[in-house]
Structure 1
Amino acid sequence: MSDDNRPRPPATADERTMFAGWLDFHRATLELKCAGLTPAQLATRAVEPSTLSLLGLVRHMADVERGWFRRRLAGEDAPPLYYSDDDPDGDFDNLDPTTVDEAFATWRAECDRAREIAAALPSLDVMVTDRAGRKLSARWVLHHMVEEYARHNGHADLLRERIDGTTGE
């Protein structure tokens, strides 16, 4: 991949800084995997039989950022953007290549809001309740977000390679 200007996580830092660094690295990795593709390519489901696409991953991560940071950590009324109880895979399934710019703008805005919320946490020991009723620390949420991006960036690697042969970290 060309133009790899991703922010590198610090080699040594306190826990909060390390989480923020890794999250920003993985956010930038998803963006890099999508760079230079047309809207139609971004919406391509390139690894059959999976319905995953790069656009679907961006939409999914916008909702994941929104759910964990805005709804859980900040307690905001922030309903899902791309899915619903009646359409749980809407973020992946209801793709329209003409909405690529909107999807990326929404995802970036959710990332920006997530950074604000994480920076304002008084402690990583703040507790939240997930959809299943489990009590989780903010530390768990941040760790999970790094894992979520890492997993989906692996999917993005495969999708990008199938779309145009581009590979890279």
Structure 2
Amino acid sequence: MPNHTRALQNNNWDPITKFWSAEIGQVLEMIIQKYRLFGGKNAGGLDIHPFSCARGAFLGYRVWEWDGYRPVLRDTTMLYRYADVGEAGKDASWRGWRLRVNQPGVYVIHCHILQHMVMGWVFGTSASEIQNIPYNDISGYLDFGGNAYGSTALYPEVVEYFKDVGPEI
């Protein structure tokens, strides 16, 4: 489990569990940056990436600038590209998110391109908060076909905490 005290000593990064740690009510600003790593025969086209945050709704900054506009809260935004082709070692685009942590647990940040889904980033609230989630509310999250996924016979369940704390950011 992530340890928030340990994470605070490492810029909110828990080096043991490899989680980013946040507290309930904390507002996080994240920049997702596309960066061209490869050159030579691997250089070339840049993709558009649909990034998502499971469990959290966020404000998505515009692609290149923030003008104060307050759009509808979302759970997925597109990470566009500046150009069709990029150079190795160069920025290719960015997207900003502002998210209020309003539920205990893991917030999985990932790309919805199938090949990238196994490379998601994860951050969560403190171990003491995660451990207090009743088992009935989390039992299906680790079972294939469990209540977090749903099936034709079983609809997914939504579990919310801190209903008095809105997602306003």
Q: TM-score, normalised by structure 1?
A: 0.26
Tell which has more relative contact order, 1 or 2 (C-alpha 8 A, sep 6+): 1
Q: TM-score, normalised by structure 2?
A: 0.26
Larger of the two Rg values belongs to structure: 2
* Higher percent of residues as helix: 1
